[in-house]
Structure 1
Amino acid sequence: MFIYPAIDLLGGKCVRLRQGDYSQETVFSDDPAAVAKQWVARGADRLHLVDLDGAKAGKPINGDVIRRIVSAVDVPCQLGGGIRSEADLETVFGWGVRWAVLGTRALQEPGWVCRMADRYPARIVLGVDARNGFVATEGWLSTSATKATDLAKQVEKSPLAAVVYTDIAKDGMMSGPNFEQLAEMQAAVAIPVIASGGVSEHAHVAKLSAMNLFGCIIGRALYEGTVDLSLVLATTRTDAVQKATSG
């Protein structure tokens, strides 16, 4: 299972929100590029970036910071937040981003996501942010009537890189992932599933790994020190070797 340290950007700073609430912001660093280098120094082989300003504005905003992060590290970066047009995709890929996460536009026009996946195979990630099992959009400010699994099913035949499933109720709350809904998503589609939200201890990561999820995004737990990145990486890589040799 791949581990994605999260770097959430708001006003050019590295922050974390609680349940996607912009009024519940904790600033962890004024230098997101330095944070990125820190996670890579501890063994991260990929990063998950979120442009929170972009999610709210409907277009990528933190370009300068994102370019600095990409230039500062030698690992691939995944970016979500406000990417809602082909021009936006060209922009963020031009910044050096490896994978682009599409959320709001995916709900509005699933067919467009499929076309973008065909145009950029294995570089588009479906971002499914859910509240009570239903898709939330516009930077989590609105909740739709579409079930998270139904949205994923509409695009699963496209050459997507993965689906990031975020339970908003769990995000930033340090209360554990929603294992039940993650299992439901994993069973519903063939797209690799990346878990996001709620990881606060090593046991949570171990359980997600045992579920054979493709990846896990970890945010607040890394910044507050309840999860040690080096240890988690060593454990998940050991588990992968054991599974490969036993299988």
Structure 2
Amino acid sequence: MEIIPAIDLIEGKCVRLTEGDFAQQTTYHSDPVEVAKQFEGLGLRRLHLVDLDGARAKQPVNLPVLARIARETSLHIDYGGGLQSSEAIQQAFDAGAQQVTAGSIAVREPKTVQKWLKEYGADKIIVGADFKDNRIAINAWAEQSDLTLEAFLTSFSEKGAKTFICTDVSKDGKLQGSSLEIYQQLITKFPTLQFIASGGVTTIEEVRQLRDAGLHGAIIGKAIYEGTIKLEDLAKEVR
């Protein structure tokens, strides 16, 4: 299982939100490049980089930060936030992202994301399945759609997608545990898909449980910054 630390960006700084609420923001570090280098120094190979300014602006805002991290580390970066056009996708790849995450646009414009999957390949396009109470959440998690999580996954697997970041919005940033049971159900129902757990991962024991359940990856954010998961312990899991 890939252990994937997260860096969320607002005004070029490393922040975390609770339940995706911009009013519940904590700034942890003014230089995300230094944070990324710290992750790399511990042997972590992946980075989940989220442009929260971009999510609000509906176009990438923090591409210079992406470019610096790509230039100064060898981390495999997946980038999301504000990717609403083919031009924006290309800008992210040009700036150094190895993968991009299609979020709300996958709900609003599924044909656009299907086009990207064909153009760039399913290895390059991760589909963001943000959910709350089994419904897909959209618009920076501000509202729920009528689409169920399973219907969304079924639809996109038929369009060629194979990797999904499944974020339980109700748990994100709360440090109260992730939705292990839901992930177990998804793996059973969709055995050919790759699921990356996101939202609420709190302890190193939980990381092991997610790995044992068959998750493709686990994104860890606030637990690192608040110290409920020690970086040394993560490094041991990677080794």
Question: What's the TM-score, normalizing by structure 1?
Answer: 0.92
4+ aligned runs moved over 4 Å, structure 1: none
Measure how far apart 1:8 and its partner are: 0.3
Structure 1: state its 5+ residue gaps.
Answer: 238-247
**2:193 and 2:153 mapped to 1: Cα distance?**
8
- Per-residue CA deviation, residues 18-63 of structure 1 (Å, 9 max, x unaligned), is 0100000000011011110011111111100001111112111111
**1:97 and 1:161 mapped to 2: Cα distance?**
18
User: Which has the higher mean CA deviation after the structures are superposed, 8-17 or 69-78?
Assistant: 69-78
User: Which has the higher mean CA deviation after the structures are superposed, 53-62 or 11-20?
Assistant: 53-62
Identity between Structure 1 and Structure 2 (%): 36
Match of 1:31 in 2: 31
Measure how far apart 1:103 and its partner are: 1.1
Maintained 8 Å contact 1:47/1:78? yes
Does residue 211 (structure 1) correspond to residue 213 (structure 2)? The answer is yes
Maintained 8 Å contact 1:77/1:99? yes
Change (3 A) 1:175 1:80: same
**2:187 and 2:109 mapped to 1: Cα distance?**
22
**1:39 and 1:100 mapped to 2: Cα distance?**
20
**2:89 and 2:33 mapped to 1: Cα distance?**
21
Match of 1:185 in 2: 186
Measure how far apart 1:161 and its partner are: 5.3
Measure how far apart 1:159 and its partner are: 4.5
**1:55 and 1:118 mapped to 2: Cα distance?**
24
Measure how far apart 1:69 and its partner are: 1.4
Change (3 A) 1:158 1:234: farther
Match of 1:58 in 2: 58
Match of 1:160 in 2: 161
Match of 1:244 in 2: none
Measure how far apart 1:229 and its partner are: 3.0
Match of 1:232 in 2: 234
Match of 2:172 in 1: 171
Match of 2:101 in 1: 101
Measure how far apart 1:148 and its partner are: 1.5
**Which residue, out of 193, 196, 220, partners 1:194?**
196
Structure 2: state its 5+ residue gaps.
Answer: none
User: Which has the higher mean CA deviation after the structures are superposed, 150-159 or 62-71?
Assistant: 150-159
Question: What's the TM-score, normalizing by structure 2?
Answer: 0.95
Measure how far apart 1:234 and its partner are: 2.5
RMSD in angstroms over aligned alpha carbons?
A: 1.4
Q: Which amino acid in structure 2 is aligned with residue 37 of structure 1?
A: K
Q: How many residues align?
A: 237
Measure how far apart 1:64 and its partner are: 1.4
Maintained 8 Å contact 1:123/1:160? no
Maintained 8 Å contact 1:222/1:228? yes
Maintained 8 Å contact 2:187/2:214? no
Map 1:40-79; keep pairs closer than 5 Å: 40-79=40-79
Q: Which amino acid in structure 1 is aligned with residue 50 of structure 2?
A: V
Q: Which amino acid in structure 1 is aligned with residue 79 of structure 2?
A: L
Measure how far apart 1:114 and its partner are: 2.0
